Amino acid sequence: MMAKIIPLLLTAVLAVCAAPDVWAHAFPENSSPHVGSELTASPPAVKIWFDGDIEPVFSTLIVKNAGGTQVSQGRGQVDASDKTLLETALAGSLPPGQYWVYWSVIARDGHHTAGRFPFTVQ
């Protein structure tokens, strides 16, 4: 019995892993600056690469200083040529201090994820 079940399970696993046209919850894969990093100078922009395409209309990225004041321009935008990249320009050079990046994205299938992370300018 087990000898029949295991090949069936493996086949199903491979079929699911091979399915190319599906999208899931989007989570960050990389960012600039890195999560929790300590920078010696203000970054020119903040960028987050996700592990799947995200919807431009409702995906946002905002940077705030320790006092809660927004220091980035607008609500961020999804890169036109790379739908996994959410980025925002900063309103100016950041003075030393801790900053928080707030992101909220909707993946292609409609799943919403959100998060925040800090970085520091020394």
Partner 1 sequence: MRAMQTQKIRLWFSVLITAITIVAAAAPAHAHAIAGMRLFPATLTFDDPGVADETSWIFSHINAGGSQTNILNLAYAKTITPRWGLVVSTDYQSLLPGGLPALRGWDNVTVAAAYQLFKHEDAESIGLLSLADSIGDSGGRAIGTPYSTYTPEFAFGKGFGQVSANWLKPVALTAAVSESFPANSSVSRTLNWAFSVQYSIPYLQNFVRYVGLKAPFNNMIPIIEFPMQTCLDHGCHGQTTGYLAPGVIWIGHYFQWGVELQVPVNHRTGNSVGILFGMDFYLDDIAPHGIGAPLFH
Residues that bind partner 1 (CB under 8 A): 1-2, 5, 9, 13, 16-17, 19, 22-25, 27-28, 31, 34-37, 51-52, 55, 57-58, 106, 109-117
Q: Indicate the residue among 38 and 91 with the shorter CB distance to partner 1.
A: 38
Q: Are 55 and 106 in contact (CB under 8 A)?
A: yes
Q: Indicate the residue among 27 and 79 with the shorter CB distance to partner 1.
A: 27
Shortest gap between Cβ of 111 and partner 1 (angstroms)?
5
Q: Indicate the residue among 1 and 80 with the shorter CB distance to partner 1.
A: 1
Shortest gap between Cβ of 19 and partner 1 (angstroms)?
7
